[in-house]
Structure 1
Amino acid sequence: MKSACIAAAALSLAALSAGAADKELVSFSHNDWELACDNTRTCRAAGYQPESGASEPVSMLITRKAGPGTAIDIQLQIGDDDGVKAPLRFKVGKATVSGLAAGTASFDDSQVRTVLPELLKGDDAMVTANGGKKWTLSLAGLNAVLLKMDEAQGRVGTPGALVRRGSKPESSVLPPVTAPIVNVVVPPKAHPGDDALAARIFPFLKLDSAKEDCNNRGDINAKSLTVSRLTDRKVLLSLGCGMGAYNYSSLLWIANDKPPYAPVSIEANGDFDEKEGSVTSAMKGRGIGDCWSSETWHFNGKDFVRTGSTGDGMCRGFAGGAWTLPRYVSRVVTSTPSATPSKP
């Protein structure tokens, strides 16, 4: 199972690095903590219970946006709150926070100021429910991860650094980066005869790499393809391709709807949503789905461009994943398709 989690994380990071050369993207993990900084320089650090311990799932998320003097947000989550008697109490070193909700709880500013110094000094923290049930949050790796966060945001040596403070002016801290705007064109409805396009375009597909990507399956034919309308003259062809015991993806091509069809394979892969004009690929690290990576692309009228990427690399027992850790974000602006036919 551990190897499956590592494989999922590797897939997420490989897809991310292949799609962008943006230096703002930072991914890092050490012991029981991981860090993801997206292209706006917002950073999120997530920590969990010890991997080899007896504690039930518990996790903390520390979020900080880029820029001088920005606040720190801390959230705490337990994996299963069924039957847990609230309120919860969080204790680390000399700091105690009481009155927390079961499930997911947020610390206010004063609680953050009280807890953060003790987090940096401790080995672990305890969460206790009314009734005595306990969870152990590991702090192994926290300092290294928060130092990497400071580095990514240009805070090292400034008064606002989390780990390595100094006298450099806060004005030297890197500013936030504006998320890119992607103008999305919603595809039109299917045209009469679109169902027949799969058989017509199939002979022009280059399938050598597709067969390899699909575990050398031998049943690929025109009936394996799904055709979706993109513009008045362009269509999307989708080939379902199983990958492993519980992950699934689709290979995609954009083609003309009339000769020459000229199908071209695209980087985007996954399920096509015709209402959103998007393709999403999601992979989980193991069967219970406690770690995920996903990529989203949107159609801009000509091609599919990446609009989002998330991934958590640590499989620690939270069904569906403990948190969403964006690696790439954008602002999607949707427009209706033009009444003028697009050129092939």
Structure 2
Amino acid sequence: MSYWMKSLLLLPFVFVACVQAEPLQKSFSDWQLTCNNAAFCVARSFPGDNGLVMTLSRGAGVNDRPLLRIDYGSAYSGELPGGPLKENLLLDQRRLTPDLKHWSVEPHHLATSNAIAIDEFLAQTLDAHTMQLTYQAKATIPLSGMKAALLLMDDVQGRVNGASAWVKRGDRAPSDVPPVPQVPQLPARLPQPAPLTQEETSGLIDYGTWRVNTDNCSLDPLRREVSVAPLTDTKALLLISCEAGAYNVIDLAFEVTRSQPYVARGLTLTLPFTPPGRSDNQMELVNAEFDASSGLLYTFSKGRGLGDCGVATRWQYNGNDFVLAEYAEEKTCDAWHSSDKWPTLWVSQPPS
């Protein structure tokens, strides 16, 4: 039974449009599939540090905006030497010559959003084993996990046994697919608070350094960094570094009154879903940064120092707590893309 059907059975048919997709990130051999709460899915081959990667993405519903890309070289590697992809791809050791009439063609980048062109390309490659470059044997795209990843993508989006499926195609009309799940709307942005005065800043930093309850912090008070920013005209945000590693710093967050006597309340980040591989939905504030002008809090947990894998989140302050706006995660550490390109597991609508 498909992911969307499992959710659908719990609700009357009239409420189909309100069904939310379940975020997921899963690996199949050398392919990774990520789907967010809007049932937008991205599948890509790995490892990317061999230089050559294929990516397929698709939205839910009828207007699915499909995209297939083959790229040689990344933001980390820069441009790589060698001839153009269109003349130098092998499929199971035989020359691959796709019809590129509806493709965007650059020397080391091929892309198409044409549904027929994607179907034709998948017909050639779904049951193959390897795609590689003629002049660089290590630059390969393993294909063994692609079919399973795309089958799960079809399942998540309710396409299995339909004409729009990429793998298990059937007789259902292309329009016979579930609608795009609704995503939550962020709270309205609060009025921009008055900047902290020098006196407020000094008092709050002193309070955060010596008097707020940080008993569970491993860092010595003399090594802790304290930052302060206005949340509202009467409340401020204190971020206090609590633990430090090679490339990640974990902070504690407090909502504090801007005037004495200071009253502090600990803030926590609670996800509206449980990420794959996790048993809880509580998030630590890792490498946190707060933008007082927008009320947005950012976290960036690096899987390694290069910053090519990990978790990046964005939160909106609603006057009392922080609400998740976006959650992106890249489990595969393969020097392929930086955090601004990581696949999302949670997205939201901007405030109305």
TM-score, structure 2 normalization: 0.75
Q: What is the CA distance between 1:66 and its match in structure 2?
A: 0.2
C-alpha displacement of 1:194: 1.4
Structure 2 alignment gaps of length 5 or more: 1-18, 270-284
Residue ranges of structure 1 left out of the alignment (5+ in a row): 1-20, 335-344
What corresponds to 2:231 in structure 1?
230
Identity of aligned residues (%): 26
Question: What is the aligned partner in structure 2 of residue 277 from structure 1?
Answer: 295
- Are the aligned partners of 1:249 and 1:271 in contact in 2 as well (CA < 8 Å)? no
Quick one: distance in 1 between partners of 2:127 and 2:328? 30
Mark the CA change 1:31 to 1:83 in structure 2 (over 3 Å): closer, same or farther.
Answer: closer
Instruction: For residue 254 of structure 1, report the CA deviation from its aligned partner.
Output: 0.9
SS at match of 1:332: coil
Q: Deviations over 1:179-220 (max 9, x none)?
A: 3332223443223521212334666633234x1xxxx22326
Relative to structure 1, the CA distance from residue 320 to residue 201 in structure 2 (aligned partners, 3 Å threshold; closer, same or farther) is closer
* Match 2:127 to one of 113, 121, 132: 121
Q: Tell me the CA shift for residue 114 of structure 1.
A: 2.1
Matches within 5 A, 1:212-223: 216-219=218-221
Which deviates more from structure 2 when the two are superposed, residues 195-204 or residues 312-321?
Answer: 195-204
Compute the displacement of 1:260 (Å): 5.6
Deviations 1:302-327 (A, max 9, x none): 32211111111112233637942111
- Cα distance, 1:266–1:96 mapped onto 2, change above 3 Å: farther
Q: How many residues align?
A: 301
Distance 1:105 1:274, change over 3 A: farther
1:242·1:249 contact (CA, 8 Å) conserved in 2?
A: yes
**Which amino acid counterpart does residue 236 of structure 1 have in structure 2?**
L
CA distance in 1, matches of 2:244, 2:162: 47
User: Map of 1:1-344 to 2, 5 A cutoff?
Assistant: 23-49=21-47, 56-68=50-62, 70-79=64-73, 80-89=77-86, 90-92=89-91, 95-97=96-98, 100-109=105-114, 110-128=116-134, 132-133=135-136, 135-182=139-186, 183-185=188-190, 186-195=192-201, 196-200=203-207, 205-209=212-216, 211=217, 216-219=218-221, 224-259=225-260, 261-268=262-269, 269=285, 270-318=288-336, 320=338, 323-333=341-351
1:74-117 Cα offsets, whole Å, 9 max, x none, are 11222335352453224436852368424543225253232112
Higher mean alpha-carbon deviation, 101-110 vs 142-151, is at: 101-110
**Separation (CA, whole Å) in 2 of partners of 1:207 and 1:42:** 40
8 Å Cα contact 1:92-1:115 kept in structure 2: no
Residues 261-312 of structure 1 show CA distances to partners (whole Å, capped at 9, x for unaligned) of 3322222421112233221111222233332321111223332211111111
Of structures 1 and 2, the one scoring higher in RCO (CA 8 A, sep 6+) is: 1
Give the distance between the partners of 2:52 and 2:33, measured in 1 at CA: 17
Residues in 2 aligned to 1:284 and 1:32: alpha-carbon distance in whole angstroms? 22
Matched-pair contact (CA < 8 Å) for 1:84–1:102: no
SS in 1 for 2:81: coil
Q: TM (normalized to structure 1)? A: 0.76
Instruction: Deviation per CA, 1:107-165: give whole Å up to 9, x if none.
Output: 2525323211222111111245xxx3452111121122112111211112222112222
Residues in 2 aligned to 1:202 and 1:249: alpha-carbon distance in whole angstroms: 16
Report if aligned partners of 1:155, 1:173 keep a CA contact under 8 Å in 2: yes
Q: Cα gap change, 1:282/1:103 in structure 2, threshold over 3 Å: closer, same or farther?
A: farther
CA–CA distance in structure 1, aligned partners of residues 168 and 226 of structure 2: 55
Give the counterpart letter for 2:24 in structure 1: V
Q: Distance in 2 between matches of 1:168 and 1:271?
A: 48
Amino acid aligned to 1:47: S
CA contact (8 A) 1:41 1:66 kept: yes
Deviates more, 1:147-156 or 1:183-192: 183-192
Q: Name the CA distance, whole Å, in 2 between partners of 1:170 and 1:111.
A: 16
Deviating more after overlay: 266-275 vs 231-240:
266-275
